[in-house]
Chains A and B, each alone.
Chain A
Amino acid sequence: MKGWRSVRAPLIWAGLAVAIGVPIAFAAASEQLAWRGAVYILAGFAGIVALGLVLVQPLLIGGYLPGLSAYRGRRAHHWIGGTLALAVVIHVAGLWITSPPDMIDALTFSSPTPFSPFGVIAMWAIFVVALLAALRRWLGLRLRTWRIVHVPLAIVIVACSVVHCLLIEGTMETISKAALCALVLAATIKVMADLWRKRALRGESAVRQ
């Protein structure tokens, strides 16, 4: 047991590094890159990094990453949320520069590609969460109110990002992409279940008092 405890933390961090690093490495080795311009390549990788950050977010807020206090986990969640919004801006701006009519079609929900609306919905959900998070103190949102807004939007972000990513035929390798998407879903379901359980426990103790 003691042995397991000593390797548990490095294993979890290594697992996270593999889950995000391997899909990025496969994409970096994609032959598609040879026929793409620098801006298009940057836009694609911003999207892949964004998906990786979507995996980190529930792990941070759920306290599943060893060695981080709850406070530091929340701070990191906050900053990575901002980075995620920035990655999405780079993704969209880069694709816009690469092919303006295709990006305009996507943003106006008139694109022929089935994955585009999912990406655009996820983008808006990320922007709304980032904006509200930045203004939370100023707006005086209490934790409960904040969660009522953030939790459904987080579910939208995760579900839409995963569908968006899976339907795209691009530089990402299929299996590593599917694995990353599965982990994103699993981490999100876990954090939502824990949140639900904690709330149920709090409800019970309140009833007992």
Chain B
Amino acid sequence: MTIVVLSRRNLLVAGGAVLATGILTTGVSGLLLPARADGLAPTESMTGGANNYRKGAAIVDRIGKGGFWMSGTVRRAGDGAPLAGQRIQIWAHTVEGQEHEPQSHGATLTDKDGAFRLEMPQIIPIFGQPHGHLAYDSGEFKTVFLRPIMRSAKETSLEAHFVLQPA
């Protein structure tokens, strides 16, 4: 037989716990729910991001002779879930060719964690800024063009991150 001791202290503790749970639940859900509804905002295309884009660059192991790494992630807007198998197209003015030339273009797929990484030739400054171009343009999600800038022309890697929303 369980003896329930109804003391003042126990009542206060129990009542306090119920209250706290209530406040916490409403409080936390109050904080989390709208955040979950708005979620992770989709990435906007950058100005000039689509310049010298060539639709349908082939998926390659490496662009040209390599030496420079372009990497990033692809996630879903809202819940931020990583998107696997997404095709990301990459191009830039490199030591092996100008931006519009076919050999400066290539594509890669994201892994199970939504990450991508493609080796390409060293990017050099063009039109006054050392920058790369990336595109998600496969139809399932809305098209996004990115144009990240290198902090210095001497850097040998660059990152760009996509948050995609359904088309």
Contact: A112 with B124, CB < 8 Å?
no
Contact: B46 with A112, CB < 8 Å?
yes
B60 interfacial by beta-carbon distance below 8 Å: no
Give the number of residue pairs across the A-B interface with Cβ within 8 Å: 52
Could you say which of A123-131, A149-157, A162-170, A200-208 contacts chain B? A162-170
Among residues of A, the one whose C-beta sits closest to the C-beta of B100 is: A99
| Interfacial residues of chain A within 82-110, with CB under 8 A of chain B in the complex | 95, 98-99, 101-102, 105, 110
**Within 8 Å CB of B129, what residues of A?**
113, 169
Given A37-B98, A99-B99, check contact A105 B51 (CB 8 Å).
yes
| Interfacial residues of chain B within 77-118, with CB under 8 A of chain A in the complex | 93-95, 98-100
**Within 8 Å CB of A110, what residues of B?**
47-48
Among residues of A, the one whose C-beta sits closest to the C-beta of B94 is: A35
**Within 8 Å CB of A169, what residues of B?**
125, 128-130, 153
**Within 8 Å CB of A102, what residues of B?**
48, 51-52, 127
| Interfacial residues of chain B within 26-72, with CB under 8 A of chain A in the complex | 46-52
Least CB distance, A94 to chain B, in whole angstroms: 12
B17 interfacial by beta-carbon distance below 8 Å: no
Given A99-B100, A113-B129, check contact A32 B48 (CB 8 Å).
no
Among residues of B, the one whose C-beta sits closest to the C-beta of A167 is: B128
Secondary structure at the B interface, as helix, strand, loop or mixed, is loop
Contact: A99 with B52, CB < 8 Å?
yes
Chain A: residues with Cβ within 8 Å of the partner, total of 20
**Within 8 Å CB of B100, what residues of A?**
99
Least CB distance, B36 to chain A, in whole angstroms: 33
**Within 8 Å CB of A105, what residues of B?**
47-48, 51
B75 interfacial by beta-carbon distance below 8 Å: no
Among residues of B, the one whose C-beta sits closest to the C-beta of A101 is: B51
Docked CA distance A95–B50 (Å): 17
Contact: B127 with A35, CB < 8 Å?
no
**Within 8 Å CB of B76, what residues of A?**
none
Least CB distance, A38 to chain B, in whole angstroms: 12
Least CB distance, B147 to chain A, in whole angstroms: 6
B11 interfacial by beta-carbon distance below 8 Å: no
B20 interfacial by beta-carbon distance below 8 Å: no
Docked CA distance A2–B51 (Å): 61
Contact: B125 with A170, CB < 8 Å?
yes
**Within 8 Å CB of A167, what residues of B?**
128
Least CB distance, B133 to chain A, in whole angstroms: 11
Digit string of A114-128 for contact with B (CB within 8 Å is 1, else 0)? 011000000000000
- Extra contacts, 9 of them, besides A113-B127, A169-B125, A169-B129 (Cβ < 8 A), are A32-B124, A35-B94, A101-B48, A101-B50, A105-B51, A111-B47, A112-B47, A112-B49, A170-B125
A-B contact pairs, 27 of them (CB 8 A): A32-B124, A35-B93, A35-B94, A35-B95, A35-B124, A95-B127, A98-B98, A99-B51, A99-B99, A99-B100, A99-B127, A102-B48, A105-B47, A105-B51, A111-B47, A112-B47, A112-B49, A112-B147, A113-B48, A113-B128, A113-B129, A116-B128, A168-B128, A169-B125, A169-B153, A170-B125, A170-B128
Residues on A close to B: CB < 8 A?
32, 34-35, 37, 95, 98-99, 101-102, 105, 110-113, 115-116, 167-170
Complex A-B, nearest 5 residue pairs according to Cβ-Cβ distance, in ascending order:
A101-B51, A168-B128, A112-B47, A112-B48, A169-B125
